[in-house]
Structure 1
């Protein structure tokens, strides 16, 4: 698992309002674009340089493309990064703390020890 790359995706998308909207409206295309166009540059790869560190694994790509935060958590994505991005994506669709409660409910089946979030 390339947890660092997944966390980098979550972090960089969350900090760009246009990318947040793009990811909300067309997550699969946004993930594919980011992986192809931004991953290598953000990780310091020179032009034409390639590494498995600049590509998501299939499970990561699918979880990102379907906004599946429980799957991302199980894969080791940092929960604060998923929470902040997913609040930006979906809080507007819920009243009060409705989205945060839904987010927590979908993670309630996890028990200690939680998945390792170290990168």
Structure 2
């Protein structure tokens, strides 16, 4: 798995309110667009500098397109990056404070230590 690329997607989308909304409304289209247009841009570098080899694996692409944060965790995506992005997208759908965060924890409770490796 390219944990770096998945974490980069989560990080960059979470920091752009327009991308958060785009990803919420059209996850598959956003993932495909981001992979084609943004995946190979280098973070914190001069415009125009890019790599050419970064691509999601099929399992990563499908988990991102399905908003499947449990699968992303299984694949090694950083849990804080998934949590913050998915809070931005879905917390508004709940009536009670912290309801999404509680659901997130509940859906991940079947994991036991050691957790999947989240190093990049």
- Place the TM-score, normalised by the shorter chain, in its bin: over 0.9
- The CA deviation string for residues 24-70 of structure 1, in whole angstroms up to 9 with x for no partner, is 000000000000000111367856x621xx10000000000000001
Q: Which has the higher helix share?
A: 1
Displaced runs of 4+ in structure 1, greater than 2 A? 42-47
User: Are 1:115 and 2:116 an aligned pair?
Assistant: yes
Provide the secondary structure at the position in 2 that maps to 1:22: helix
How many matched pairs?
116
The answer for unaligned runs of 5 or more in structure 2 is: none
Specify the alignment match of 1:58 in structure 2: 58
Specify the alignment match of 2:92 in structure 1: 92
Give the TM-score normalised by the residue count of structure 1.
Answer: 0.92
- State how far apart, in whole Å, the 2-side matches of 1:2 and 1:67 are: 17
- State how far apart, in whole Å, the 1-side matches of 2:102 and 2:14 are: 20
